[in-house]
């Protein structure tokens, strides 16, 4: 069984995987990082979004082997101890979640947007969140949270 090694949330992590092991399976089942969720498993819902080498991707449609040697950031890697990341704080402040299932993917996607655009318009946020589905609240507060989080980040993660 091949070995993959990647830097996950700043720590080097290795594991023996099958060729077919998805990145999300490696994160959840091998590393126990269950903050990254599997929703649709068809690359549409975005619950599985993580960062690979700084850009957001759907980890249900990536092989662990494709991320060999990469820098991976998951939702668990955002907060600094008990201090929430500004985007997480914005989701809490603006009630950008209800059941929370989509939230890790929403936040990871939003951080990628904010890294490129520190003051996204409502339209730009809605366009960017095309690949993140929420089945509870609708998107109104999520959009507000993303705009506030992006401003709070001030162009940096």
Tell me which residues touch another protein (CB under 8 A): 2, 18-20, 41-44, 46, 49, 55-58, 61-63, 65-66, 68, 109, 112-113, 128, 130-132
Residue with Cβ nearer another protein (41 or 93):
41
- Residue nearer to another protein on the CB measure, 111 or 145: 111
Least distance in angstroms from the C-beta of 145 to another protein: 17
Contacts of 129 (CB under 8 A, 6+ apart): 46, 106, 109, 110, 139, 142, 143, 146
Question: Residue 55 pairs with which residues in a beta bridge?
Answer: 52
Question: Which DSSP state fits 103?
Answer: H
CA distance 57 to 69: 16
Q: Which CB sits closer to another protein, 92 or 116?
A: 116
Looking at residue 31, what DSSP letter applies? S
CB of 30 to another protein, least distance (A): 16
């Amino acid at each position: 069984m091949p070995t993959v090694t990647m830097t996950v949330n700043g720590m080097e992590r290795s594991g023996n995987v099958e060729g077919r092991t998805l990145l999300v399976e490696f994160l959840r089942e091998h590393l126990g990082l269950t903050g990254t969720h599997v929703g649709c498993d068809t690359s549409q819902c975005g619950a599985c979004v993580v960062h690979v080498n700084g850009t957001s991707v759907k980890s249900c449609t990536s092989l662990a082997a494709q991320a060999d040697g990469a820098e991976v950031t998951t939702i668990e890697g955002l907060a600094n101890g008990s201090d929430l990341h500004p985007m997480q704080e914005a989701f809490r402040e603006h009630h950008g979640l209800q059941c929370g299932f989509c939230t890790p993917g929403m936040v990871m996607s939003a951080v990628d947007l904010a890294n490129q655009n520190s003051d996204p318009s409502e339209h730009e946020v809605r366009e960017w969140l095309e690949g993140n589905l929420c089945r509870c609240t609708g998107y109104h507060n999520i959009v507000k949270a993303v705009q506030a989080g992006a401003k709070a980040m001030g162009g940096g993660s």
